[in-house]
Every structure is written in structure tokens, then in C-alpha cells.
Amino acid sequence: DTKHDLYADSNITYVNYYLHQPQVAAIFIISYFLTFFLCMVGNTVVCFIVMRNTHMHTVTNLFILNLAVSDLLVGIFCMPITLLDNIIAGWPFGSTMCKISGLVQGISVAASVFTLVAIAVDRFQCVVYPFKPKLTIKTASVIIMIIWILAIVIMSPSAIMLHVQEEKYYRVRLNSQNKTSPVYWCREDWPNREMRKIYTTVLFANIYLAPLSLIIIMYGRIGIALSKTTVPPSGKQNQEQWHVVTKKQQKVIKMLLTVINTYIYPLAHWLAFGNSSINPIIYGFFSENFR
């Protein structure tokens, strides 16, 4: 039973400290642990491979490394806290941790999204405009620095407004002896609703709508460009080379579709965390260099 056990007492509502029965809580813990494990192992392996092998130090792999780092932060700071939020009532930590965890969560998610856009732009340039000057390692490093600066800037207002607040109309029932305690929440406290609406709109536009639109446009153009090169040339050697290129193109298309699919549907924490766990699998499985 996942419903809270509520007890009405005039204007006060009492909620159990543990929000679920032990069996349900166990399912939450196991599921989060598996997702956390995949996220940690997959992204750590990606970081190790890129940093250990000098021939892997390319622009694309540098972006993939940055994506893995941001996804590791998602796993470390987002998953455990969200698990606690699903199991117990209220915020168990102090005000400082409230601000730090909120800021790091927001920054890591924003950096992950911006890095996906950078990867899309890099591959768009390589496939659609192959003869134009490509990004250098130095330029990619500057882009990564800008990604983290933008992530910090766009998420700072949220962290500033985060406060631990006591819930006036709820109390936690601690045991069967009716011992209770106040409920505290880590939440944003904006001066007025309009400011909150504006900031939420800005976040939605910059963290979801604009990146998603860019990714779809870039990968759509890549798909069109690759489809135009599917006519096999004459000659045995040329046909063999064409088949090799075609197989690589098919792998690229599959990877692009998978990336778009995992980005379009993170409508809840589960799918967002799943995205952080799936990214290293996508970029590792579909990359011959990683294999």
C-alpha cells in the first residue's frame, strides 16, 4: 500500500514517518540501487577509457567524458536523496545540505543536457559539413567550461531560494505511542508567484524545450545527409568500402534515435535517472572505439 496513513486532528494532519509498507520500500530501494549501480559503473568505465587511452582524446570523446561526469553527479547527488524523499516524510538534513544538494542536482542535470546538445552539434558539423574546419580539443574544452558556467548561472536562483521550512499543517507520527515531530521540507520560497512562474518558464525553455528542439533538428539533418549516401557505387572495392560506411552509418542512426528517445521522455525522476544510466551504454555500445 503506497498511500500515506493520515490521521486528522482539527487542522493538523499526521503522517507516518515511513511512507510505505516494508515490502514496497524494499522495491524502491532495490530499484534505485540497480539504477544507481548502472549509473556509477557505466559512467566510471567511460571516464576511465577516455582518460586512460590517448587515442581516445578526440572532441567527441571529450564531450562524452563530460557527459559521463555530469551523469555521475546525477547518480551521486540526485538518486540517494530522491530515494529518501520517496521513503520517509520530510527533509532529514539541514539547510546547508538543502541548498548544496539542490544546486548540485540542478547543475549536473543542466550540464548533462547541454553536453548532449554539444555532441549533437559536433556530429552535425562532421556529417553534414564534413569539409568545414572541425572543432579542436582546445575549442571543445572552452565549450565544456561554458557549459558548466551556464549550468551554474541558470540553476543559482533555485539554490538561493531553497530553504528548509516547517510544514504548519502536518506532523510526523514517529511511533505507536503517538509521539510526533514537526515536518520539514526543502523547497523553493519565492517572494511571489510571478517570479516563480517566470523562472520555471526560463528553466523549461533552456533545459528542455530549446535543447530538445536543437537535438531533433541536428539529428534530423544528420539522418537526411546519411540517407543521401545510400546508393552503392560501381566497382568491387568501392562497393566493399560502401558497405563498411553504410554499416557505420546505420550504427550512427541507431545511436541518434536512441539518444533522442531517451531524452524526449524523461517525464519523471525514474526516466531522468535512467537517462544518466543509459548514456554510457548508448555511447559505448554504438562506438567501435569504446568496444
Is 189 in the same domain as 50?
yes
**Higher-confidence residue: 276 or 148?**
148
In a domain, 77, yes or no: yes
Q: At residue 2, does pLDDT exceed 60? A: no
**Higher-confidence residue: 277 or 93?**
93
Least confident of 35-49, 74-88, 188-202: 74-88
In a domain, 185, yes or no: yes
Q: What is the mean pLDDT of residues 86-90?
A: 83
Q: What is the mean pLDDT of residues 186-191?
A: 89
Is 59 in the same domain as 195?
yes
Is 210 in the same domain as 276?
no
Q: What is the mean pLDDT of residues 116-123?
A: 89
Q: What is the mean pLDDT of residues 80-96?
A: 84
Which of 229, 255, 275 is the C-terminal boundary of a domain?
Answer: 229
Is 133 in the same domain as 162?
yes
Is 215 in the same domain as 266?
no
Which of 191, 213, 229 is the C-terminal boundary of a domain?
Answer: 229
Q: By the 8 A CB rule, do 169 and 13 touch?
A: yes
Is 138 in the same domain as 161?
yes
Give dist(CA 38, CA 239) in Å, integer: 40
Q: At residue 145, does pLDDT exceed 90? A: yes
Q: What is the mean pLDDT of residues 176-201?
A: 86
Is 153 in the same domain as 254?
no
- pLDDT at res. 146: 97
pLDDT tier at 144 (50, 70, 90 boundaries)? very high
- For 48-78, write each residue's pLDDT tens digit: 988 998 888 888 889 989 988 988 888 888 7
**Higher-confidence residue: 95 or 250?**
95
pLDDT tier at 153 (50, 70, 90 boundaries)? very high
The number of distinct structural domains making up the chain is 2
In a domain, 4, yes or no: no
Q: At residue 257, does pLDDT exceed 60? A: no
Is 80 in the same domain as 120?
yes
**Higher-confidence residue: 176 or 149?**
149
In a domain, 26, yes or no: yes
238, burial (CB in 10 Å: exposed 0-12, middle 13-18, buried 19+): exposed
Is 143 in the same domain as 268?
no
- Average pLDDT value over all residues in the chain: 79
**Higher-confidence residue: 149 or 249?**
149
In a domain, 6, yes or no: no
What's the distance, CA 229 to chain centroid? 33
Give dist(CA 215, CA 150) in Å, integer: 18
Which of 210, 229, 248 is the C-terminal boundary of a domain?
Answer: 229
- For 90-100, write each residue's pLDDT tens digit: 888 888 888 98
- pLDDT at res. 137: 92
Least confident of 16-20, 85-89, 109-113: 16-20
Q: What is the mean pLDDT of residues 191-202?
A: 92
Q: Which residue has the cell 536543437?
A: 214
- pLDDT at res. 157: 94
Most confident of 83-87, 116-120, 149-153, 283-287: 149-153
Is 223 in the same domain as 263?
no
Is 212 in the same domain as 247?
no
- For 160-187, write each residue's pLDDT tens digit: 999 998 888 778 877 666 788 888 888 8
Show the cell assigned to 20: 510505505
Shortest CA distance to 230 belongs to which of 218, 239, 219, 220? 239
Give the number of C-alpha atoms closer than 13 A to the C-alpha of residue 223, restricted to the C-beta side. 12
In what helix (H) or strand (E) does residue 83 lie, and over which residues does it extend? helix 79-87
Q: Which residue has the cell 499543517?
A: 169
Give dist(CA 109, CA 257) in Å, integer: 21
- pLDDT at res. 277: 62
Query: What domain range is 275 assigned to?
Result: 231-290
pLDDT tier at 155 (50, 70, 90 boundaries)? very high
- pLDDT at res. 39: 86
In a domain, 99, yes or no: yes
Q: By the 8 A CB rule, do 159 and 106 touch?
A: yes
In a domain, 2, yes or no: no
In a domain, 8, yes or no: no
Q: Which CATH number does the domain housing residue 220 bear?
A: 1.20.1070.10
Is 258 in the same domain as 270?
yes
